[in-house]
């Protein structure tokens, strides 16, 4: 904001009449409370071959009964992704694919791999996901072994992902080292993500009675469910977590041999916890394993209790960087003054950005999420703002309005995608590759141009208010009037990028202006009271 405008504001605030004007201007700057989007609806599905946009490496990253995963590169931006190919042989295969897509759309958490987009090409279906370039936990166990410190830090993250998924009535049912991936190659960055939700089930909708997963890591009730016709619960994931912990600390599995021997030892809770290497493992770690490898489901802790176990308290806790936290929360405040279309675009962009561009955002989100349920409630948000800005700050006065703006789907909480949309740094969101990822979500025809119809369709699909169709048409026309520089009725990538950059800068300026107005309104009230 130009400095010569500040005296004008001060002068305007000197009379009682200007109090109303300052307040009214401030209220106008705040977003419409009726604005609400469903971020899940922004995940695009393309009806074309995936090779139109990606060069796929023939090397197979992973292979299972339901599909093959390979690494690929975006032909325009060079961004690396993981692509799972599924061949539809029957209606059941299609149903399983759509179930996995639906579950991954619903999961937005720092320790769960992102689904970015899907493709349909005849009998072939594709899931495009974030590429975790650090590789599998399984490989690191084989290559280097795991220290107890490394193990507790990784298990803490997986348990966080499970607590979040279970709170949404989703059980993974195939937790194993191969399905825990490191986000990057940097050995000092131990961030992991849970992948492969193909076996997952929404246990509030179905009875879980099928035998799925890997025998070595599956709970005993999973292995006997079909023969005994018995239902099991999401605590099967906690048994698997116990086995993974055992393998990380010892390099061996707790149960081996013939199937009958495995089931007998499971039922007796019989497995080695003494001798080499267990003599050098802490008693807390061994107690943690024993608490999870309980034959009876109801004797195992739930995911929340797992996070409270004494061994979990030994994890490495990064010191809070208050300067970084302040910068992120200032960006969050600035986001609350953004336009409908810009907020929608940022929500799209947030699902396309990988961990390496979100490290500071991830740390702040986890710092704010004090109860570790994977979402932010208003009380957590307020405490974070008060800690950073102070109880009597201007930021604290508007914290509820900022929270309301971030809560795009109006469910009373802020999830990870919503928080990322508001807090991605200017440096990251203005990178050409990042902008391209968001651009192609609107470019459904893959012709490098966004039409009015495409903008209107995305707005209509995502808006939870279900306004009349002409409203979305007018919003799309307005976007084109403002940003279609060559007047061809579409936005090319250059025009799109300029729109995003200009909208981002406008939000920052508007936020500063709004805070000044708020301060002036407060000064006027104080003088009026005197």
Crossing angle of helices 340-350 and 469-483, in 10° steps, is: 90
How far apart are the C-alpha atoms of 105 and 280, rounded to whole Å? 42
CA dihedral 56→60→62→68, nearest 10 degrees, is 60
> Is the CB of residue 335 less than 8 Å from the CB of residue 510?
no
User: Cα 184 vs. chain centroid, distance in angstroms?
Assistant: 17
404: helix, strand or coil: helix
For 402, how many CA atoms within 13 A lie in the half-sphere containing its CB?
26
User: Cα 530 vs. chain centroid, distance in angstroms?
Assistant: 49
- DSSP-derived secondary structure for 291-339: HH--SSGGGS--HHHHHTSTTGGGS--PPP-HHHHHHHHHHHHHHTT--
Catalytic, 174? Answer: yes
Report the Cα–Cα distance between both ends of the chain, in Å, rounded.
30
> Is the CB of residue 297 less than 8 Å from the CB of residue 221?
yes
How far apart are the C-alpha atoms of 33 and 113, rounded to whole Å? 31
Left (φ > 0), alpha (ψ -120 to 50) or beta: where does 219 sit? beta
Q: For residue 505, give every residue at least 6 positions away whose Cβ sits within 8 Å of its Cβ, in sequence order, or none.
A: none
Residue among 79, 85, 51 nearest 351 (CA): 79
CA dihedral 501→504→506→510, nearest 10 degrees, is -170
Residue 151: burial class (beta carbons within 10 Å; 0-12, 13-18, 19+): buried
Which of 98-134 are b and which e, b meaning 16 or more Cβ less than 10 Å from the residue's Cβ?
Answer: ebbbebbbbbbbbbbbbbbbbbbeeeebbbbbbbbbb
> Is the CB of residue 137 less than 8 Å from the CB of residue 177?
yes
How far apart are the C-alpha atoms of 355 and 349, rounded to whole Å? 13
Residue among 352, 348, 331, 329 nearest 340 (CA): 348
How far apart are the C-alpha atoms of 325 and 207, rounded to whole Å? 43
User: Phi and psi at residue 59, in whole multiples of 5°?
Assistant: -65, 130
Of 38, 66, 150, 174, which one is the catalytic site residue? 174
Q: Which residues are catalytic?
A: 174
């Amino acid at each position: 904001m130009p400095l010569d405008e500040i005296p004008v504001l001060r002068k305007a605030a000197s009379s009682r009449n200007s109090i109303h004007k300052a307040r009214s201007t401030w209220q106008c700057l705040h977003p419409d409370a009726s604005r609400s989007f469903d971020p899940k609806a922004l995940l695009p599905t393309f009806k074309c071959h995936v090779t139109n946009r990606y060069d796929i490496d023939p090397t197979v990253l992973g292979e299972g009964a339901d599909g093959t995963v390979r690494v690929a590169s975006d032909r325009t931006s060079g961004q690396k992704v993981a692509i799972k190919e599924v061949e539809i042989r029957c209606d059941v295969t299609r149903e399983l694919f759509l179930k996995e897509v639906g579950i991954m759309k619903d999961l937005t958490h720092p320790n769960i791999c992102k689904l970015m987009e899907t493709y349909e090409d005849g009998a072939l279906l594709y899931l495009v996901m974030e590429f975790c370039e650090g590789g599998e936990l399984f490989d690191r166990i084989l290559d280097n072994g795991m220290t107890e410190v490394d193990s507790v830090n990784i298990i803490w993250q997986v348990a966080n992902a499970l607590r979040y998924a279970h709170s949404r009535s989703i059980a993974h049912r195939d937790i194993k080292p191969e399905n825990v991936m490191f986000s990057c190659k940097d050995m000092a960055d131990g961030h992991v993500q849970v992948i492969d939700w193909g076996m997952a089930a929404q246990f509030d909708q179905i009875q879980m009675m099928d035998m799925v997963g890997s025998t070595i890591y599956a709970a005993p009730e999973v292995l006997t469910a079909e023969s005994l016709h018995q239902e099991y619960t999401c605590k099967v994931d906690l048994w698997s977590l116990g086995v993974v912990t055992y393998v990380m600390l010892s390099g061996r599995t707790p149960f081996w041999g013939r199937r009958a021997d495995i089931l007998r030892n499971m039922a007796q809770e019989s497995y080695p916890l003494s001798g080499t290497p267990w003599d050098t493992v802490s008693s807390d770690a061994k107690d943690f394993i024993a608490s999870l490898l309980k034959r009876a489901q109801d004797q195992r802790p739930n995911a929340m209790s797992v996070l409270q176990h004494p061994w979990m308290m030994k994890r490495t806790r990064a010191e809070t960087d208050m300067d970084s936290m302040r910068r992120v929360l200032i960006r969050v405040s600035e986001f609350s003054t953004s336009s409908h279309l810009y907020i929608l675009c940022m929500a799209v962009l947030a699902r396309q950005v990988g961990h390496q561009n979100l490290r500071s955002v991830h740390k702040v989100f986890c710092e704010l999420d004090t109860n570790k349920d994977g979402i932010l409630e208003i009380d957590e948000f307020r405490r974070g703002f008060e800690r950073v800005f102070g109880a009597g700050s201007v930021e604290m006065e508007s914290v509820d309005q900022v929270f309301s703006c971030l809560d795009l789907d109006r469910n009373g909480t802020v999830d990870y995608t919503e928080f990322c949309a508001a807090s991605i740094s200017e440096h990251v969101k203005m990178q050409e590759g990042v902008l391209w990822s968001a651009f192609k979500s609107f470019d459904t025809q893959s012709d490098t141009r966004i039409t009015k119809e495409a903008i209107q369709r995305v707005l209509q699909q995502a808006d939870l208010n279900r306004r009349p169709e002409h409203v979305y048409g007018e919003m799309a026309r307005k976007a084109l009037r403002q940003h279609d520089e060559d007047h061809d009725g579409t936005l090319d990538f250059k025009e799109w990028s300029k729109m995003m950059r200009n909208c981002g800068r406008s939000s920052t300026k508007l936020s500063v202006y709004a805070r000044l107005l708020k301060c002036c309104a407060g000064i006027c009230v104080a003088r009026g009271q005197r």
